[in-house]
């Protein structure tokens, strides 16, 4: 039950990976890997416990054909006997077949011989044998032809003979051994890693089934490898982690039985994936993190590929040696550098010499360090100085052949389309006009019926959507009104708390300050009250708001009955809440100051004039005047210390304007423009 559940979880994640954030994907696969890692380990333990003697089984088989099939179907054939043991035995069978003139047996054993030389890293000898077979393979079965061409393809790749590799792949296609001719791995070998990745994604993704976790792991590992070679290390690491999780799911899938060969392949792939993760950490200079992955990778690859000269094994060994060298663990570094594996690729030979030179340089043996550096210089000097030009020519050849192949495919498709079109035209010409008329009549009637039914369906859908939108808007307005009502109630509670504090305070200055704060809180509460009472929740009608604000201020400051005539000219002006709150607080301060200071002798002819104009799309204007005693002579000095004046200036800044003050013959005038 659990493996099936995990498989469905992986499938779900992969289906939606383009819609999820990368951080969530990495977390998901990390948790899944943690949950499944014991299962994967158990699968590996089961595999490793099977120490079958494939070499003896090979010798016990009756003939060359069965031995050839067994050899190529067994990935871990060198588990107990080295490739050299196999080669010696195959040579004996080959000599015996040559003596009896058994041509098919000779071809079978030469095919095995070629593959063993490839596994040993002797690509030139492997290619020479495979080419002899290629020249005489006319009467071979299709499966044997495929094996010969695959070995030649691999040999040409290792020897960097990419033009020959392309010819081999084209011939495989002509024989029907492969459906498409792919060049992405050749592009990568020529340094065009991004191009290789794009072609690989285009050609391979569509061929992978949802439940084929092994193929998905291979796919993600290859994409990660192209990104790693292109130095996009963090992105590559995410693909390798995904591949590692998928191979663990592959092992945990107990529903689909696996052969020993499949288990060996899965463990080998896991070793390669772990090695790639370690390489990424080395590129990121996180050497301590890299070491466990590289060590486990080397262990898995050695266990399941005994006797093969694998590039991954050599590269991982050199990478872990570099890690220990960077961590100043010279003993461990030399243990891995002195490993019996011999690099074949030039870049690996150069890297091994460089690491030896670095080791001897750090340990003070400068003579030995110089020796290894000179070796690298000689290797580079021995390389053809035209190697770069040759590589460029090969890349150009690959591109031209790729374009030529695409052009031919387009021509074939175009010819097929033209042929199909002509056939359709000929067929149409044989159909009678009566039948065509009948078809068009039926189509027209069907179209009308379909259009009518679709129209009814669309109208019903529109009505349902309209009803849903209207209900949503009503609900939204109700919620907003409720919010403004609660804010008003909370502000009134604050005002009540200030009143309570006033009663418990004896300091006159404190009482005045609390009353002023209470007045300001009421001004803000009034805004929210107007909003939830208004049909339109986005704006406030300012004439009514100003009148309510004046009444609120009068209830606080009208002591002894001021006979003040207040004129408000703001009819038809509406402001949003962002401007109404600072405006209301400014007006609260102005009216409060007029009541407190402008009319000290209760004049009967006291006047206050409030003017507000705002036309949509134009600049607004505010003016406040009273005919009181006016501002004192030291008003400029008081402005710096008065909280009310400073508050009004800051509120004016919120309105993106400046509060202007004019002394008049009959009092004072405040005004400003606003947007």
Mean pLDDT of 292-300: 93
Q: At what angle do helices 508-533 and 433-503 cross, to 10 degrees?
A: 160
Q: If pLDDT is split at 50, 70 and 90, which confidence band does 421 have?
A: confident
Q: Are 305 and 78 in contact, with CB atoms under 8 Å apart? A: yes
- 3-state secondary structure at position 541: strand
When mean pLDDT is compared across 91-105, 232-246, 410-424, 520-534, the lowest value belongs to 520-534
Q: In which band, very low, low, confident or very high, does the pLDDT at 23 lie, cut at 50, 70 and 90?
A: very low
Query: What phi and psi values does residue 575 have, to the nearest 5 degrees?
Result: -125, 150
Is residue 501 pLDDT above 50, yes or no?
yes
Q: How far apart are CA 497 and CA 511, in angstroms?
A: 13
pLDDT of residue 467: 79
Angle at 648 between CA 647 and CA 654, to 5 degrees: 95
323 token code pair: 């890690």
**Cα–Cα–Cα angle for 64, 69, 72, rounded to 5 degrees:** 120
Once rounded to an integer, what is the mean pLDDT over residues 653-675?
88
Whether the pTM exceeds 0.75: the reply is no
The dihedral through the CA atoms of 477, 483, 487, 490 has a sign that is positive
Highest mean pLDDT among 175-179, 450-454, 495-499, 669-673: 669-673
Topology of the domain comprising 559-675: Heat Shock Protein 90 (3.30.565)
Work out the average pLDDT over 561-580.
84
More confident residue, 388 or 208: 208
Q: Could you report how far apart the first and last alpha carbons of the chain are, in Å?
A: 68
Query: Rounded to the nearest 10 degrees, how much is the dihedral formed by the CA atoms of 403, 406, 412, 414?
Result: -100
Sequence ranges of the domains in the chain: 1-49+204-291, 52-181, 446-537, 559-675
Strand partners, 566: 608
Computed on alpha carbons and rounded to an integer, the radius of gyration of the chain in Å comes to 43
SS3 149: helix
**From CA 496, how far away is CA 234, in angstroms rounded?**
60
**More confident site: 283 or 15:** 283
| Mean pLDDT score across all residues of the chain | 80
Bigger pLDDT: 166 vs 673? 673
How far apart CA 436 and CA 60 sit, in angstroms, is: 72
Distance in angstroms (rounded) separating the CA atoms of residues 656 and 4: 64
The string over 99-122, giving b where at least 16 C-beta atoms fall within 10 Å of a residue's C-beta and e elsewhere, is eeeeebbbbbbbbbbbbbbbbbbb
Residue 340 has a pLDDT of 66
Token pair, residue 63, equals 């003939």
Residue 33's SS3 state is: helix
In the structure, what pLDDT confidence band is assigned to residue 235 with cuts at 50, 70 and 90? very high
User: pLDDT tens digits for 611-643?
Assistant: 999 877 788 999 999 988 888 776 666 655 677
Tell which wins on pLDDT, 615 or 283.
Answer: 283
β-strands 564-569, 606-613 pairing? parallel
Choice between 596 and 217, residue whose per-residue pLDDT is larger: 217
State both tokens at 94: 């080959």
Give residue 345's pLDDT band: very low, low, confident or very high (50, 70, 90): confident
Give every strand in the sheet of 667-674, ordered side by side: 564-569, 606-613, 620-626, 667-674, 660-664
pLDDT band at residue 41 under the 50/70/90 scheme: very low
Local confidence band at 206 (pLDDT 50, 70, 90 cut-offs) = confident
- 368 burial (CB, 10 Å; 0-12 / 13-18 / 19+) is middle
pLDDT digits (tens, 9 = 90+) for 313-330: 889 999 999 999 999 999
Tens of pLDDT, residue by residue over 1-13, are 444 444 444 444 4
What percent of the chain lies above the pLDDT cut of 70? 81
CATH T-level assignment (fold) for domain 52-181: 1.25.40
Residue 132 has pLDDT above 80, yes or no: yes
- Rounded to 10 degrees, the C-alpha dihedral 106/148/391/283 comes to -110
Is the Cα dihedral 73, 79, 81, 85 positive or negative? positive
By CB neighbour count within 10 A (0-12 exposed, 13-18 middle, 19+ buried), where does 141 fall? exposed
Residue entry with tokens 């107007």:
530
Question: Rounded to whole angstroms, how far apart are CA atoms 333 and 570?
Answer: 86
Mapping DSSP to helix (H, G, I), strand (E, B) and coil, where does residue 339 land? Answer: coil
Per-residue confidence (pLDDT) for residue 378, from 0 to 100: 83
The token duo for 306 is 């005994």
Distance CA 511, CA 202 (A): 79
- The alpha-helical segments, DSSP class H, found in 431-541 are 433-503, 508-533
């Amino acid at each position: 039950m659990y493996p099936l559940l995990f498989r469905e979880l992986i499938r779900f994640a992969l289906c939606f990976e383009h819609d999820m954030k990368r951080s969530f994907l990495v977390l998901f696969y990390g948790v899944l890997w943690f949950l499944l890692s014991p299962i994967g380990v158990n699968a590996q333990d089961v595999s490793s416990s099977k120490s079958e003697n494939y070499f003896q089984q090979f010798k016990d088989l009756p003939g060359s054909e069965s031995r050839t099939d067994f050899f190529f179907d067994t990935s871990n054939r060198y588990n107990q006997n080295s490739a050299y043991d196999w080669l010696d035995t195959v040579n004996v069978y080959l000599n015996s077949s040559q003596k009896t003139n058994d041509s098919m047996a000779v071809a079978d054993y030469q095919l095995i011989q070629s593959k063993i030389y490839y596994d040993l890293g002797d690509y030139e000898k492997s290619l020479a044998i495979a080419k002899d077979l290629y020249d005489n393979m006319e009467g071979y079965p299709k499966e044997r032809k495929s094996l010969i061409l695959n070995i030649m393809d691999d040999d040409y790749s290792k020897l960097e003979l990419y033009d020959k590799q392309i010819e081999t792949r084209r011939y495989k296609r002509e024989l029907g051994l492969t459906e498409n001719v792919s060049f992405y791995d050749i592009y990568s070998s020529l340094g065009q890693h991004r191009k290789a990745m794009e072609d690989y994604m285009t050609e391979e993704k569509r061929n992978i089934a949802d439940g084929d976790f092994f193929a998905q792991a291979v796919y993600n590992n290859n994409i990660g490898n192209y990104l790693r070679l292109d130095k996009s290390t963090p992105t590559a690491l995410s693909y390798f982690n995904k591949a590692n999780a998928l191979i663990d799911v592959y092992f945990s899938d107990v529903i689909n039985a696996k052969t020993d060969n499949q288990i060996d392949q899965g463990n080998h792939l896991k070793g390669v994936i772990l090695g790639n993760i370690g390489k990424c950490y080395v590129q990121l200079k996180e050497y301590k993190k890299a070491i466990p992955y590289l060590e486990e990778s080397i262990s898995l690859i050695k266990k399941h590929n005994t006797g093969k000269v694998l590039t991954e094994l050599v590269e991982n060994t050199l990478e872990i040696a570099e890690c220990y060298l960077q961590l100043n663990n010279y003993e461990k570094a030399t243990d891995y550098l002195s490993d019996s594996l011999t690099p074949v690729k030039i870049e690996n030979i150069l890297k091994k010499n460089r690491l030896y030179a670095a080791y001897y340089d750090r340990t003070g043996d400068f003579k030995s360090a110089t020796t290894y550096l000179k070796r690298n210089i000689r290797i580079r000097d021995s390389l053809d100085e035209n190697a770069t030009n040759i590589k460029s020519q090969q890349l150009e050849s690959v591109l031209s052949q790729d374009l030529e192949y695409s052009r031919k495919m387009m021509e074939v498709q175009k010819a097929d389309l033209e042929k199909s079109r002509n056939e359709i035209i000929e067929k149409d010409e044989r159909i009678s006009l009566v039948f065509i008329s009948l078809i068009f009549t039926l189509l027209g009637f069907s179209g009308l019926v379909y259009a009518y039914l679709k129209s009814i369906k669309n109208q019903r859908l529109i009505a349902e959507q309209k009803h849903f939108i209207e209900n949503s808007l009503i609900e939204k307005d109700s919620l907003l009104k409720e919010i403004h009502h609660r804010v008003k109630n909370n502000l009134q509670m604050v005002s009540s708390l200030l009143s309570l504090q006033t009663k418990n305070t004896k300091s006159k200055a404190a009482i005045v300050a609390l009353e002023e704060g209470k007045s300001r809180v009421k001004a803000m509460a009034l805004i929210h009250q107007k909003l939830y009472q208004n049909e339109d929740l986005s704006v406030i009608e300012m004439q009514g708001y100003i009148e309510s604000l004046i009444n609120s201020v009068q209830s606080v400051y009208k002591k002894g009955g001021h006979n003040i005539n207040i004129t408000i000219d703001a009819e038809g002006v509406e402001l949003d809440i962002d401007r109404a709150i600072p405006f209301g607080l400014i007006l609260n301060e102005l009216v409060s100051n007029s009541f407190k200071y402008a009319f000290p002798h209760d004049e009967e002819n006291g006047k206050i004039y409030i003017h507000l104009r705002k036309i949509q799309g134009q600049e607004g204007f505010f003016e406040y005047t009273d005919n009181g005693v006016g501002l004192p002579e030291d008003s400029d000095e008081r402005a710096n210390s008065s909280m009310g004046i400073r508050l009004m200036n800051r509120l004016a800044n919120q309105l993106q304007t400046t509060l202007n003050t004019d002394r008049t013959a009959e009092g004072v005038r405040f005004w400003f423009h606003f947007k």
